Chain A
């Protein structure tokens, strides 16, 4: 009886504590001190564990990963160069972009992944490598996501397929602008991104490519990173904005080496 009473007391305390934590975190928008504490506590361990498992997974992965990192860096620069070549002047005037070497790509490896419902990963580079929050993450195929939180040695990346993520994009051919958001349905695989154009009269055709539009100061997204290809136009009759499903270039289920575009 006494034991049971104590158990219930502890249970009630724990439940109240959990509800209080949820409340505080909800008020802070999911970035309360609890997360930073957890990052400091679990970050290094996951860093090491992810490196160990990556070492087991990749075998002699040092050289390969170095080459991959270099490749990613080159591809990122190439994508940027292509964008600049396409309409460099227009973009520069529009986005107030500086020179090409304004950006630098920090390579990192995915060491941990979030739970079933959230599309977030953790990379093994943090503020010690110059990474800060709201920086673009890409890999050799295209856009991956953006950094949402950072510790000294790790950073949490919100993937573009996450339902919280919205990326400003531009159509490759027509230059129409719009937004790509995650659908929280990335598990079905086919088309985890949803494109919405801002111009009601713009025409959408399957096969068109989508690039990032860019943000002020390159945060959270730098311009010109390829996002994906339009697969299905889902515009409904009478709707104000044309919509489509976009198949991303990057394979979000098998992320390995990524690059973080840091500002110098």
Chain B
């Protein structure tokens, strides 16, 4: 493969690490410690090298490098502290630094490495290592490591370490880069735009489904990609306009006055107790002037709706069609065809006869609800007996309408009652579901977004246990069988942990 480093390069790097460690120890003791630096402090080259190596490699290499470097610094002649002190501290430093870096980049499939983040991790590791040196000396009651000495040495040493860490990291990364496979170059500008568009579309497509999906090869940092998943975006098919979440228009019903077409957001006046006739020839029979009787329309739909702020006691009666339909089958009973369109509470209307308004029928006669109900008692009886049912259909041409329907709760979706009369004035066919339970789109429903927030990956819970990868992901729908082994038996789990620790079995 062309991207693979040659064997010579790998061997060079493998040899360079111990040599660099040895050179760092010697240089530390013979040069750096004798430099008359201001403050009397000196940086720790070995600690810097260990942290830099750890941060560009794996935890294993970091731990081993730290142990070897610390032990060399322990037993090299001029220092007289106990052998193993710095080995302990540097080993932990190298492991923890590399582990942290690995855990931080575990989620990025693109392999993007942020130099500033890497440097920050290295700096924190170096500072922790300096503190650890002091802490171990204090624990072993080294007479040289007193509180006064720590107070004097520690800030200066950390300062010099932080000063040198970019240089050391750059050197180590240069040398380590020889043995690493070559990465693809960044795409050119045009390609980048193309990839960016693809990335956007892909992100949008995967907004709800896969929050852990990463884009490989786009040159985009995963950090930026994660931000878009938190807020779902909407792409329109026509203009490509991307905007934020749509306004919650369906929560508030906008009212349109029939006459003027002006929008009325407020509730209709309390005098709106009249029954309205919807339709061409029925409208002429309306007694009230049109200004005081706005017809309710959902803005943009033209469908008849009942506003939640309307008084519930007034059922909306509608004369369907015209006189010719009324004559066809129900002429014998002389019952006008009334539709209680939404959820008018008929029972309550009956209990309050004072409020029942006058009804003007299409054939010119005046009537009342009580009379109407009396006349159609045979048909309406099951509905009234149902208690809350306020739906009264006298649909002569469709016997199915007279069948008692499922009782609808007014609180749930009584807003969405469909009209029998379509917006163009024609009657709907019987096959058309008049009450379409049309739920709001998924993305409009408040916090019920199908999008999980992007969660930052953390290292494992315990310091001994790594972050456990997911057993199954979104594209391999099958669950793994590891639940068999992860039963609740504590001894089984302990044995599993022990085996994992030894590395014998996964």
A residues apposed to B, CB below 8 Å: 1-11, 14-15, 17-22, 24-26, 30, 32, 34-35, 37-39, 41-43, 45-46, 49-50, 53, 110-122, 148-149, 151, 154, 156, 158, 162-164, 184-185, 187-189, 253-254
Contact = CB atoms under 8 A, between A and B. Distances in A.
B50 to A, nearest CB: 13
Interface residues of B, number: 64
Given A42-B29, A116-B44, A187-B149, 18 more contacts: A8-B501, A14-B64, A14-B67, A19-B84, A21-B74, A21-B83, A22-B88, A22-B140, A25-B83, A34-B75, A112-B30, A112-B78, A114-B33, A118-B81, A185-B149, A187-B39, A187-B153, A254-B36
Nearest to B137: A117
A173 B292 CA distance: 120
> Main SS of chain A's interface residues?
helix
Listed residue (A39, A50, A115, A254) with the most chain B CB atoms within 10 angstroms of its CB: A115
A30 B149 CA distance: 20
Contact of B82 (A22, A43, A163): A22
Interface in B27-46: 27, 29-31, 33-34, 36, 39-42, 44
A18 to B, nearest CB: 4
Interface stretch (B55-63, B237-245, B412-420, B431-439): B55-63
Interface of B: 22, 25-27, 29-31, 33-34, 36, 39-42, 44, 58-60, 63-64, 67, 70-85, 87-88, 91-92, 95, 133-134, 137, 140, 142-146, 148-149, 152-153, 157, 464, 466, 469, 500-503, 506
A61 B506 CA distance: 64
Contacts of B157: 116
A39 B25 CA distance: 13
A258 to B, nearest CB: 13
Closest 10 CB pairs of A and B: A38-B75, A21-B84, A18-B88, A113-B33, A34-B83, A163-B143, A5-B503, A22-B84, A112-B29, A25-B82
Contacts of B153: 116-117, 187
Nearest to B22: A45
A75 B157 CA distance: 37
A44 to B, nearest CB: 10
B84 A20 contact: yes
A115 B79 contact: yes
Contacts of A122: 29, 77-78
Given A18-B91, A21-B83, A112-B34, A151 B149 contact: no
Contacts of B29: 42, 46, 112-114, 122
